Amino acid sequence: MGSEQNFPPPGNKQELEQGTELTPKFDASGLLPAIVTNVDGGDVLMLAYMNAEALRLTLSTRKAHFWSRSRGEIWLKGETSGNVLEVVELRTDCDQDCIWIKASISGDQVACHTGKASCFYRVITSDDGDIRLVSDS
């Protein structure tokens, strides 16, 4: 990865929380989690991971890029399926170790590889202590 992908190193607590400079805190694997919500309705669509290059590409192209931990490569979400996530707004959190993307989704509105709109298609129920997963209809 070229140095052009690098971001400035995280500063102290005040700089991280109140600064105007993006200094993302990647974990020991060089990744941070990115939450994607649908700008239309607000549902959480998926969570994936970004390295510095994926974050740079997302910022420059306004299309969500991730680091595939299973394939070990940069991944333009929707490159094969057509369901590209167009970035409407990008946010970071107080300690800059997470990204929130508000996205509109092109194609057939499917974010999950299972064919569901969102990866979060199952509710965890725990009635009477009996924990089950219940799928959306």
Contacts 24+ apart (CB under 8 A), 115-121: 117/38, 117/43, 117/45, 118/38, 118/43, 118/44, 118/45, 118/46, 119/45, 119/46, 119/47, 120/43, 120/44, 120/45, 120/46
From the CB of 55, what's the least distance to a second copy, in Å? 9
Closest separation in Å from C-beta 34 to a second copy: 10
- At 30, give phi and psi (nearest 5°): 80, 25
CB of 82 to a second copy, least distance (A): 19
* Residue 1: strand pairing partners: none
86 is a site residue for a second copy (CB under 8 A)? no
- The least distance separating a second copy from the CB of residue 43, rounded to whole angstroms, comes to 8
Please, are residues 110 and 80 in contact by the beta-carbon 8 Å criterion? Answer: no
x/- string (CB under 8 A) for a second copy, residues 28-67?
A: -----x-x-x---xxxx-xx-----------xx-------
Stretch 6-25 residues interacting with a second copy (CB under 8 A): 17, 19-22
Q: Mask 110-129, x = binds a second copy (CB under 8 A)?
A: --xxx-x--xxxxxx-x--x
**Measured from the CB of residue 127, what is the shortest distance to a second copy in angstroms?**
11
- SS in 3 state form for 22-55? CCCCCCCCCCEEEEEEECCCCCEEEEEEECHHHH
Point out which residues bind a second copy (CB under 8 A): 17, 19-22, 33, 35, 37, 41-44, 46-47, 59-60, 89-94, 98-100, 112-114, 116, 119-124, 126, 129, 131-134
